[in-house]
Amino acid sequence: MDSRILNVLNEEQREAVTAPDGPALVLAGAGSGKTRVLTHRVAWLLEKGVPAHRMLVLTFTKKAARVLQHRLADLLTGPQVLLWAGTFHHVGYRLLREFGSRIGYAGTPVVIDREDQVDLLKSILSAFPEGLRKELPPAGQILNAISLSRNSMVSLEDVIYDRFSGLIPVIETVTRIRTEYEEVKKKDRLADFDDLLTGWLDILESGPDVLELLQERFRFLLVDEYQDTNPLQSTILDKLAARHKSFFVVGDDSQSIYSFRGAHVENILTFPDRYPEARIYRLETNYRSSPPILDLANRIILGNERRIEKTLRPFHTEEGEAPRTVGLYSDADQAHFIGSTVDQLLDGGTQASEIAILYRSHYLSLPIQFELARRKIPFSITSGLRFYEQAHIKDVLAHLRLLLNPRDTLAMTRLLRMIPRMGERSSEKLIRVLGEVEDVFSGLTDEKVLKTAPSLSREGVRKLGERLFSLRELQRKEESTVGLLVMEILEEGYRRDLYDIREDPEEREADLVAFAEQLGEQKDLEGFLGEITLLENLEEMALSNASVPDRVILSSIHQAKGLEWDTVFVLSMNEGVFPPEKSALRPQDLEEERRLFYVAVTRARRDLLLCVPESAISRGRGERLYPSRFLSEIGSDLVSETRYESWSF
């Protein structure tokens, strides 16, 4: 046995890596070396003589699969290529190519993406009576309900009642749409991403011969991030493992935070019940955080009833500073405090890239972005896009810009290109015609103007004109505010566009609603748009003064999972924000929010600052805020309480 495989491991890791054949659950706490254990387990099996082609190693991202292969190459002396290592969907596609005929495919199906799915569903809806079509929600929302039903293995009706209450009035129609959607895909030999998993399960259930063949082929099953599996993936794995039970899973129930994608924490919680003979290995040595931060993390997760017992212990035993709760008068002071503190850290020699600002919802980052840009502090956002660079925000801003200047060609082009079948040339042609009319918004609904657009796009162009006309009428009213205009854009048709053409529409809609609320009573549309331009210019100035890697990181907590920094700020630890009001209504959702808080805390190595504003006054609001229930749960003995005032004498 090559010493490099075992000698670098601690005792907990070594026990897991050398586990005997059979089911094994590795509970890998935050910062405990999860990836190392999985990689070394694969290397250990290969060194023991297990053929690479008899292993199935499943990850949740292509990047994780590549990292695994690269680390194996560094560990092993000879060339070893895992023939079956990748994401669930990647493996599902390969099996569909091999066994698709067993489940009714005449050849390899063509895999369609989200845009293709929306187009396919719209073509189905086009055959429905116009009155019925108008009652239906956006095609994208229907697809989301169908997808969640398939991945959770729950009836579409139950999913709608549980998660998509807006579909309840048309539940029978949505069920009919689902049936026709599946029939058309089958007839046209198409497969969406969910079909890659349902097809995999269908293959396993198509006969005992293929089930036994795949159970023998995948003699050793290894799964990364097992807490993120959905019921469909779990069922597939259980069927493959049923014969030999050589099933090695690595995960952490305390970091299961993706139920909105179908992840089911019960998969990992019930693993010992489904496999009573399973050995359980706990990786509790944390190589990342200071003892006070780990004490806080351990206290947080005690609030969850559904969990598997484990306690993180620090590898670095030097006592660090206690996590701080920072009381602030307002969310505006929160931005000022963070900007001021980051400035001090940078002046003291801290690298910008070792500072992270985490938040529950993306809109919370907006005042922080402006404050950092004003101070010329370079920053990056983990999504790769700053707030105003995101597609849905740019869509809304295009509407607002047209209210100020109906002949804003760039804004009009953006909105026209969102309409199906409106390509670059069609948009240019229509804009030239609109240049000759007196009122652009009325022109969009004029029959003569509409005839210059492709026939299949005319209804979309008309609806855009009606939406802009309605916005202008609202803008002219005394009570009009920028926030009301944003909500009007949503209500007058953009919500449907959002669900039809943008990924993660629910999250984007929540972003816009929260954004509208944050705008509050702001009435000066021209000033608001000017402020955005100023923000963009300040950001460019800040970024031009820094090398690309050395920037402060802004990230949602979901996107921060797996990352770590020396100093971490967590924004707006307020009831109704973290946890959100809606998540506090159901015990299972509240437990996931608590796990999300646990993830946020365990991103910090040395310094953790939990910000608690008392009011939200951005852009004129004066809403009273209260501390998050999570703060009262952890108590005051593990934190240092401080208060920040933005003025000084």
For residue 582, say whether it is annotated as part of any ligand binding site: no
Place of tokens 């009035």: 169
Annotated catalytic residue, options 192, 224, 333, 591: 224
Is residue 117 part of the annotated active site? The answer reads no
Question: Is pLDDT larger for residue 306 or for residue 548?
Answer: 306
Q: Is 48 helix (H, G, I), strand (E, B) or coil?
A: coil
Compute φ and ψ for 86, nearest 5 degrees.
165, -165
Q: Do domains 11-94+197-283 and 301-378+549-646 have the same CATH topology?
A: yes
Is residue 142 within 8 A of residue 167, CB to CB? The reply is yes
Is residue 112 within 8 A of residue 120, CB to CB? The reply is yes
Q: Is the pLDDT of residue 325 over 90?
A: yes
Single-letter amino acid, residue 459: E
Question: Is pLDDT larger for residue 81 or for residue 412?
Answer: 412
Cβ atoms < 10 Å from Cβ of 484: 19
Compute φ and ψ for 551, nearest 5 degrees.
-135, 145
Domain ranges for the chain = 11-94+197-283, 111-188, 301-378+549-646, 389-524
For residue 349, say whether it is annotated as part of any ligand binding site: no
Domain 389-524 falls in which CATH fold? PCRA; domain 4 (1.10.486)
For residue 33, say whether it is annotated as part of any ligand binding site: yes
Q: Which bin fits 23, alpha (ψ -120 to 50), beta or left (φ > 0)?
A: beta
What whole-number distance in Å separates Cα of residue 485 and Cα of residue 470?
Answer: 10
Annotated catalytic residue, options 192, 194, 195, 225: 225
Tens of pLDDT along 171-205?
999 999 999 999 999 888 999 999 999 999 999 99
Tens of pLDDT along 463-518?
999 999 999 999 999 889 988 999 999 888 888 888 877 777 777 887 788 778 77
Cβ atoms < 10 Å from Cβ of 586: 11
Give the per-residue pLDDT at 80.
Answer: 65
State what percent of residues in the chain have pLDDT above 70. 94
For 312, residues 6+ apart whose C-beta sits below 8 A from its C-beta are 29, 30, 31, 32, 284, 286, 289, 294, 297, 298, 602
For residue 152, say whether it is annotated as part of any ligand binding site: no
Is residue 365 within 8 A of residue 535, CB to CB? The reply is no
Q: Is the pLDDT of residue 546 over 60?
A: no
Indicate the length of the chain as a whole number: 649
Annotated catalytic residue, options 288, 414, 603, 605: 603
Annotated catalytic residue, options 34, 458, 523, 619: 34
Confidence of residue 547 (pLDDT cuts 50, 70, 90): very low
For residue 29, say whether it is annotated as part of any ligand binding site: yes
End-to-end, the C-alpha distance of the chain in Å comes to 68
Give the per-residue pLDDT at 237.
Answer: 98
The pairing of strands 85-87 and 55-59 is parallel
Tens of pLDDT along 585-626?
899 999 999 999 999 999 999 999 999 999 886 544 467 899
Is residue 225 part of the annotated active site? The answer reads yes
CATH architecture of 11-94+197-283: 3-Layer(aba) Sandwich (3.40)
Q: Is the pLDDT of residue 647 over 70?
A: no
Annotated catalytic residue, options 35, 87, 285, 409: 35
For residue 341, say whether it is annotated as part of any ligand binding site: no
Tens of pLDDT along 38-61?
999 999 999 899 999 999 999 988
Give the per-residue pLDDT at 131.
Answer: 81
What whole-number distance in Å separates Cα of residue 251 and Cα of residue 271?
Answer: 11
Is residue 623 part of the annotated active site? The answer reads no
Long-range contacts formed by 75-83: CB under 8 A, 24+ apart: 75/2, 75/4, 75/5, 75/39, 75/40, 75/43, 76/2, 76/43, 76/46, 76/47, 77/2, 80/46, 80/52, 81/52, 82/42, 82/52, 82/55, 82/57, 83/52, 83/53
Annotated catalytic residue, options 117, 235, 255, 390: 255
Give the per-residue pLDDT at 190.
Answer: 92
Is residue 171 within 8 A of residue 160, CB to CB? The reply is yes
For residue 34, say whether it is annotated as part of any ligand binding site: yes
For residue 560, say whether it is annotated as part of any ligand binding site: no
Domain 301-378+549-646 falls in which CATH fold? Rossmann fold (3.40.50)
Is residue 106 within 8 A of residue 201, CB to CB? The reply is no
